[in-house]
Amino acid sequence: MRRHNRPPLAERLTTSLLEGIEYARGERELRTTLVPTARTYSAEEVVAIRDRKRLSQAEFARLLAVNVKTLQSWEQGVRKPSKPTMRLLQIFDEPEVFRTMFFEAADTPG
């Protein structure tokens, strides 16, 4: 049972290969989307985000899907959040700025 109405894998692979050949020959343009890198957050900034959102450590840890001890180690500067978590902090802390950065980057011709 198929969930989506899309062509079989073999057909999609064939189409992709032909498109790749067209691109290599200069017969096709590709759309490129550049996504800005996630900024890094210091221990003090992690605490500041949590404070601005008025969340307890337990609530903030649950929101980020991490253990409270992990959050505490970030806030104490013992450890740093992973890159995906830095991106999540960025989206959570500055949703408008992130949205603007992303859509400006997506509109840039590649």
Q: How far apart are CA 30 and CA 56, in angstroms?
A: 46
Q: How far apart are CA 23 and CA 5, in angstroms?
A: 27
Domain segments of the chain: what residues?
43-107
CATH entry, 43-107, from 1.10.260.40, 1.10.300.10, 3.40.50.300, 3.40.50.1220? 1.10.260.40
Residue 109: pLDDT over 70: no
Q: What percent of the chain has pLDDT over 90?
A: 65
Query: According to the model, what pLDDT value does residue 24 have?
Result: 94
Q: What is the pTM of this model?
A: 0.63
Query: According to the model, what pLDDT value does residue 3 have?
Result: 63
Segment among 58-67, 75-84, 85-94 with least mean pLDDT: 85-94
Q: How far apart are CA 46 and CA 71, in angstroms?
A: 9
